[in-house]
Amino acid sequence: MKPTTKKIILGSAAALIVIAAVAGLYFYRYVSQPFEGEKVRVRIPAAATAVDLRDSLVSALGDGYGSAVYRLWGLQGGEVAAAHGSYVVDPGASALSVSRRIAHGRQSPVNVTFNNVRTLDALARRIASRMEFDADAFVAACDSVLPPMGFKSAQYPAAFLPDTYQFYWTDEAADVVARIAGVRNDFWNDSRRARAKAIGLTPVEVATVASIVEEETAKSDERPLVARLYLNRLNKGMKLQADPTVKFAIGDFSLRRLYNKHLTVDSPYNTYRNAGLPPGPIRIVERASIDAVLNAPVHDYIYMCAKEDFSGYHNFAADYAGHQANARRYRAALDKRNIK
């Protein structure tokens, strides 16, 4: 081989090595580029196309980084059906690692938290806001999942306990309902069921009493006293005459003062008209409120009235005369503040 030819070959080889090295370095930087934004969640719906996927990535992650993730996803043979899901991208995450997770459908869990919820519709909206399904699908799932578990429609709120639950964004509504209701069933262990039986109530009835107690007082230390008051009324065969049940029947919990026109509303939830418990809970209750009913201390109070100092606590009485005196003080305080 002539020296000139040899030099040309060696020169060409060296050039190719340099080109390959530069290309390799560029590709390494391309695949390892970090995400420089704040933590973000990318959602890829079930009916998404490849174009939809690309648009979702670019919209959430920016043009440069999002496009890189999309191209790398395609180079890995990514399929849109497998990408269906929700993925959290943390600051510093490489484009390659994100594309791999999407290509293999390795979703990020979704934390679903709910508390201070009154109605099933409100619960459905709260949960659906974190999931792919909508509120209507959640309500429909309740109708399919809860009756076989022994719940009537009005009792559905008793199937749920406020907490933080973890799901995947793509989970079906029926699976979500079943899992949350399962947590409730685990909470109602043999010990709690025995205590409920000892006070003559079913678990759903305990939740119903607890829901009234929660609406009557925001003071957790007062809830056991209020719970026993309502148990006393039930045991005596008295009407509960609980103002929150009237507000629930009317659909307005903002009422500060109830009048006769309110107390006569025709509803199975109006405990001024109907004896016994309403058909089901008037809100979704906390675990502590259920235990407040199960562990209510013994006393002989059967009347309660908000304290005239508007502290949120109540005055209690064992007879009607004492209650009337408490009520007069409270009405006078309302009038003084011109609360209608």
What is d(CA 291, CA 194) in angstroms, rounded to the nearest whole number?
12
pLDDT tens-digit profile of 125-170? 999 999 999 999 999 999 999 999 999 999 999 999 999 999 999 9
Co-location of 150 and 222 in the same domain: no
| Residues contacting residue 167 through CB under 8 Å, at least 6 positions apart | 109, 110, 112, 130, 131, 175, 176, 179
Co-location of 229 and 172 in the same domain: no
Co-location of 200 and 293 in the same domain: yes
Co-location of 206 and 279 in the same domain: yes
Is residue 14 predicted with pLDDT exceeding 60?
A: no
Structural domain range at position 45: 30-103
- Domains identified in the chain, total number: 3
* 305: in domain: no
| Average confidence score pLDDT of the chain | 91
Where among 45, 77, 103 does a domain terminate? Answer: 103
* 308: in domain: no
Residue type, 124: A
Co-location of 99 and 114 in the same domain: no
Co-location of 154 and 120 in the same domain: yes
Q: Which residue has the tokens 């002539």?
A: 2
pLDDT tens-digit profile of 210-224? 999 999 999 999 999
| 81 SS3 class | helix
Q: What kind and span of H or E run contains 89?
A: strand 85-89
* 19: in domain: no
Single pTM value for the model: 0.86
How many alpha carbons fall within 13 Å on the CB side of residue 179? 15
Where among 86, 103, 120 does a domain terminate? Answer: 103
Quick check: 94 and 31 in contact, CB under 8 A? yes
Co-location of 67 and 120 in the same domain: no
* 99: in domain: yes
Tell me what pLDDT residue 298 has.
Answer: 95
Q: What is the DSSP letter of 34?
A: B
| 86 SS3 class | strand
Where among 187, 216, 247 does a domain terminate? Answer: 187
